[in-house]
Amino acid sequence: MAKVVAVTGNEACANALRQVNPDVCGIYPITPQTDMMQRFASYIADGKVDTESILVESEHSSMSACIGASAAGGRVVTATSSQGLALMWEMLHIASSDRLPIIMPVVNRALSGPLNIHGDHSDAMGARDTGWIQIWSENGQEAYDNTIQAFRIGEHMDIRLPVMVCLDGFIISHSIERMEYLEDQEVRDFVGPFKNFLPLLDIDKPKSYGPLILTDLYHEYKRAQHEVMTKVKDVVLDVAKDFEKLSGRKYGIFETYRLEDADIAIVILNSAAGTTKDVIDEFRDKGIKAGLLKPRLFRPFPFDEIAEALKHLKAVCVMDRADSFGSYGPLFMEVASALYPLEKKPLLMNKIYGLGGRDYLPSHAAQVISELHESAKSDRINTRKEYIGVRE
C-alpha cells in the first residue's frame, strides 16, 4: 500500500536509502545534499538501518571509502553535490572501471566560481564522461523512484556499474511536494538481497582490484567498458516495467509530453520540465503544437530513440542548465549528435538558462516556444546558441 506524504526531495531520497538498507555509506556534508545524508545518519544512529557509516574528511575520501567497501563486497551508497562531486572526480573513474555498483544521489548545484550553492547541472555534466550511469529526476517522486530503481540497474549482473541519480538542488531537494512512498517491505523485495560479484572479502579466492595495465590491455579494457554501457538501456526499461507493476508509475529512458503530434519541441532536463509542460499547455490552447522531451537516462545516452522521437519536428530547442564554454551546452551536443544521422532533421537551437539557481520562469519557456514557432514558419533560426533570462 502506497503512503501519501508531503516531503522534500532530500527527505525522499534518504527514505529510499533507508528502505533499501545498504551495508555501507560514505558520508560527507555539502550543500544542498547535506540534509539527505544528515537524515540518513539519523536512521543509522536510531538503529533504523544496519548500515555502517564511514565519516570522512572529504568527498575524495568518501568515494575512496565507497570503492573499498564495494570491492570488499558490500551494497554501498553515498550522496554529494557540486564541489563534492568535482573533488570525487578521479575516484569516479575508478568506481566505474572497477565495475562497482555504488549508488549516489547527486543534488545538482552550480560549480565555483564564483561560489554559488544553488541548482544547476554543471556538476553532473562535468561527470558525464566518468563511466557512471546517470538518471535524471524532475521532482521528488522521480528522485525517490529513481533511487530505488538505481540499485536494480547498477547491481544487475550484466551491468555492475555505479549510478548517479540527479535531482535539482533546492528546487527539488528542499521543496516539499506531495508524493507516494512504497512500503519498506515492497522496496526490500523489489531491490532484493545484494548479490556479490568478485568480492575481495572472499578470502578463499584471493584477488586484486586496481592493477597497473599499460599499452598491452588498457585499450581492450576501455572497449569492454563501452560494451557494458550498450546493455544498460534494456536493463533500465526492464527494471522500469517491474517498478510500474509495483507502483503504478511508468518510466522510460525519456519522457515525452504532447510530442507525438507536435511541430516544435523543447528538450530539457529535470525540474524545469514541469514549468515547460504548463507553458506548452497554454500554447496548445492557442493552437500552437508544442511538445517536450525530457531525458531520464543521460548516460548512456539513447541516441537512436531520441532521434526517432524528434525526427518529425520542424524545430527543436535544447535547453541546458550548464555550459561547455567555447562550445554548446552538453545536452545540446548529445541531441545534435542523435539527430545528425537523420536525412531530414529539425532546425536545432540551444538556450542556456538558469545557471547558479537563476529562476526558470514560465515567461522564459514562452519566449523559447514563440521563437521556435517563428523558426518553424520561416524555416530558419536566429541564433544557434544563446543565454536566456540574462541581463544585458
Partner 1 sequence: MKAKGWKDLPPGAVVLEGGSAARFKTGSWRAFRPVWKEENCIQCLFCWIYCPDMSVPVNDGKRGEFDYNYCKGCGICALECPGKKGQKAIVMVEEGK
Angle between helix 184-191 and helix 9-20 axes, rounded to 10 deg: 70
Residue 208 CB, shortest distance to partner 1, in Å, is: 4
Minimal distance, residue 157 CB to partner 1, in Å = 10
Where do the DSSP E strands lie in 94-157? 103-108, 133-136
Coil, strand or helix at 28? coil
Look at phi and psi of residue 290 and say left if phi exceeds 0, alpha if psi is from -120 to 50, else beta. Answer: beta
What is the smallest separation between the CB atom of 204 and partner 1, expressed in angstroms? 10
Nearest residue (CB) to partner 1, 217 versus 390:
217
Instruction: Name which of 100 and 319 has its Cβ closer to partner 1.
Output: 100
Shortest distance, CB of residue 212 to partner 1, whole angstroms?
8
Q: What are the cell numbers at 32? A: 544542498
198 counts as binding partner 1 under rule CB under 8 A: yes
Q: How far is the CB of 68 from partner 1 (least distance, A)?
A: 14
Nearest by Cα to 84 from 56, 42, 52, 114: 56
Give the interface segment with partner 1, choosing from 6-14, 202-210, 235-243, 272-280 (CB under 8 A): 202-210
Contacts with 106 (C-beta within 8 Å, 6 or more apart), sequence order: 33, 79, 80, 81, 85, 123, 124, 127, 164, 165, 166, 167
Among 52, 129, 220, 281, binds partner 1 (CB under 8 A): 220
Tally of CB atoms within 10 A around 146: 27
- Give Cα 33 to chain centroid, integer Å: 15
User: What's the min distance (Å) between Cβ of 62 and partner 1?
Assistant: 20
- 215 binds partner 1 per the rule CB under 8 A: no
24-27 and 385-387 strand pairing:
unpaired
- Evaluate the omega torsion of the peptide bond into residue 162 and state whether it is cis, within 30 degrees of 0: no
Q: Of the listed pieces 91-99, 283-291, 341-349, 368-376, which binds partner 1 according to CB under 8 A? A: 91-99
User: Does residue 341 bind partner 1 (CB under 8 A)?
Assistant: no
| Cβ closest to partner 1, residue 142 vs residue 155 | 155
Q: Which is nearer to partner 1, 57 or 216 (CB)?
A: 216
- By the 10 Å C-beta count (0-12 exposed, 13-18 middle, 19+ buried), 93 is classed as middle
- Identify the residue among 208, 215, 343, 391 touching partner 1 (CB under 8 A): 208
The single-letter DSSP state of residue 164 is: E
Confirm or reject binding of residue 303 to partner 1 (CB under 8 A).
no
Return the range that interacts with partner 1 (CB under 8 A); candidates 22-30, 92-100, 234-242, 352-360. Answer: 92-100
Q: How far apart are the first and last CA of the chain?
A: 53
Q: Does 99 bind partner 1 (CB under 8 A)?
A: yes
Size, binding site for partner 1 by CB under 8 A: 23
- Nearest-angstrom CA–CA distance, 158 and 154: 9
217 binds partner 1 (CB under 8 A): yes
Interface residue with partner 1 among 98, 142, 145, 371 (CB under 8 A) is: 98
For residue 228, the SS3 value is helix
User: Does 55 help bind partner 1 (rule: CB under 8 A)?
Assistant: no
Binding residue (CB under 8 A) for partner 1 from 210, 362, 363, 390:
210
In sequence order, the 6+-apart residues with CB closer than 8 A to the CB of 366 are 279, 282, 283
Q: Is 206 an interacting residue with respect to partner 1 (CB under 8 A)?
A: yes
**Residues between 105 and 164 that touch partner 1 (CB under 8 A):** 160
Residue carrying the nine cell digits 535531482:
167
Q: At what angle do helices 9-20 and 34-45 cross, to 10 degrees?
A: 40
Of 223 and 391, which has the nearer Cβ to partner 1?
Answer: 223
Rule CB under 8 A: say whether 205 interacts with partner 1: yes
**Residue of 2, 228, 229, 336 that binds partner 1 (CB under 8 A):** 228
Among 52, 115, 178, 207, binds partner 1 (CB under 8 A): 207
The beta strand positions in 29-82, using DSSP E, are 52-55, 76-77
Given the rule CB under 8 A, which residues bind partner 1? 97-100, 160, 197-198, 205-211, 213, 216-217, 220-221, 223-224, 227-228
